[in-house]
């Protein structure tokens, strides 16, 4: 075979209006969960704090329940945590990705077998 990357579907949910939910926002949530910080999560994704905060704000306004809860500072400053609803959102989105991948597996195999590989 070759070192060409495998084909994979990418899931994005377009809400009515301009709201979108995709792997970037979910990955940001996973980084917030791991780091306890919007700033650190943004750095892990090579994005500014401002951009990370904008995405968190978009997530929090997209849903009837908060996805991320900022925490006020103390001796070490503030932080953020993914809410139980946010945890459900991550889990469900990852499950949708897996289901889409499984549903498309045969078609992806067919595409893989017929694609032209780079020289």
Residue 76 banded pLDDT, cuts 50, 70, 90: low
Please check whether residue 5 lies inside any domain of the structure: no
Per-residue pLDDT tens digits for 6-42: 888 999 999 998 899 999 999 999 999 999 999 999 9
Residue 55, Cβ neighbours under 10 Å: how many?
20
How much is the pTM? 0.87
Please check whether residue 15 lies inside any domain of the structure: no
Residue 99 banded pLDDT, cuts 50, 70, 90: very high
Work out how many domains the chain is built from and give that number: 1
Find the CATH number of the domain harbouring 37.
1.10.10.10
| Domain with 48 in it | 21-114
Q: For the residues of 87-98, what is the DSSP string, one character each? A: HHHHHHHHHHHH
Q: Can you give the pLDDT at residue 21?
A: 97
The long-range contacts involving 55-59, CB below 8 angstroms and separated by at least 24 positions, are 55/24, 55/25, 55/28, 56/28, 56/32, 56/80, 58/19, 58/25, 59/21, 59/25, 59/29, 59/86
């Amino acid at each position: 075979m070759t070192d060409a990357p495998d084909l994979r579907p990418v899931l994005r949910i377009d809400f009515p209006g301009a709201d979108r939910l995709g792997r970037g926002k979910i990955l940001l949530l996973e980084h917030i969960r791991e780091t306890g910080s919007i700033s650190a999560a943004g750095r892990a994704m090579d994005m500014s704090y401002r951009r990370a905060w904008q995405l968190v704000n978009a997530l929090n306004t997209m849903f009837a329940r908060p996805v991320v809860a900022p925490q006020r500072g103390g001796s070490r400053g503030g932080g953020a945590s993914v809410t139980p609803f946010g945890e459900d959102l991550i889990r469900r989105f990852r499950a949708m990705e897996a289901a889409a991948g499984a549903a498309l597996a045969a078609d992806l195999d067919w595409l893989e077998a017929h694609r032209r590989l780079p020289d």
